[in-house]
Amino acid sequence: MIEIKNINKSFGDNQVIFDVSAQFQTGHTNLIIGQSGHGKTVLLKTMVGLHSIDSGKIIYSDKVFSEMDFDDQKSIRKEIGMLFQGSALFDSLTVEENIRFPLDMFAEQSKEEKRERVNFCLKRVKLENVNHLYPSEISGGMQKRVAIARAIALNPKYLFCDEPNSGLDPKTSIVIDNLIYEITKEYGITTIINTHDMNSVMGIGEKIIFIYEGRKLWEGDKEDLLSASEERLNDFVFASELFKRIKKNEK
Ligand SMILES: Nc1ncnc2c1ncn2[C@@H]1O[C@H](COP(=O)(O)OP(=O)(O)OP(=O)(O)O)[C@@H](O)[C@H]1O
């Protein structure tokens, strides 16, 4: 489990996260939802140590990550897989080299063991025989799969995904969502996903927190979401014509 307690974060005079507390459950897909620019990415980056925090606590299992020095944080960083916006693959490296990258950084394995791990991860995301291709030679959906394979290369306990579906068509988005969900269950990972895609929310939103202007305004699961009374959450959820119609039909 990951717990954050009373997180505040500013850039200069501009405070973007206000007193956010939440728990993210092991073996579940935990979603952070909200409109663009309301602080989801900043919150996620503070949790993995890419941004410092002004105050509050970030706790991984029972270890207070936010109070550790950089070297001590390394033991937790090794257990974190990350899937950034876009795919953030290295364009100049092949698929195999991209997936091997975290292994070269952190794993003490032979070349052969690393190759086996790369192939295992590729197989897990249902890609094979693409080892020697470059990111520009595969589709956007395939690039996401490679990014997932890279994120799970070190067998992470924690997986952070920032807008995993950005730039994908609805059908491919569902494939990627399902893959993240399956991997979460299979390996008992604490998965945290930033999204503003309501299809993802209704598909894989086991636990959801809603961020508005840097504040947590609501939390619950996808069953509670459609009947929530928080007005700003409803504005977000029912922004699309499709969800407006669903609401109308339910009445
Ligand atoms: N490095 C930074 N320096 C200064 N301000 C920043 C920085 N990163 C983010 N911000 C500001 O923090 C606020 C929240 O941005 P953030 O990227 O977290 O939003 P978001 O909800 O993730 O949006 P999106 O879905 O578009 O990624 C914005 O006002 C943004 O301009």
Gap between the Cα atoms of 209 and 205, Å rounded:
10
Ligand 1 within 6 A of 216 CB?
no
Tokens of 92: 């100049």
Strand partners, 37: none
Could you read off the pLDDT of 46-99 as tens digits, one per residue? Answer: 999 999 999 999 999 989 999 999 888 988 998 999 998 776 899 999 999 999
Of 7, 16, 36, 201, which is best to mutate to test ligand 1, by the most ligand atoms within 8 angstroms of its C-beta?
A: 16
pLDDT at 87: 67
CB 83 within 8 A of CB 159: yes
Q: What is the 3-state secondary structure (H, E, C) of 1-44?
A: CEEEEEEEEEECCEEEEEEEEEEECCCCEEEEECCCCCCHHHHH
**Can you tell me the ipTM of this complex?**
0.95
From the candidate CATH numbers 1.10.8.80, 3.40.50.300, 3.20.190.10, 3.30.950.10, the one assigned to the domain spanning 2-250? 3.40.50.300
Ligand 1 within 6 A of 193 CB?
no
Of 7, 8, 15, 41, which is best to mutate to test ligand 1, by the most ligand atoms within 8 angstroms of its C-beta?
A: 41
pLDDT at 177: 94
CB 163 within 8 A of CB 131: no
Domain definitions of the chain by residue range: 2-250
Ligand 1 within 6 A of 32 CB?
no
pLDDT at 244: 73
| Segments of the chain scoring below 50 in pLDDT | none
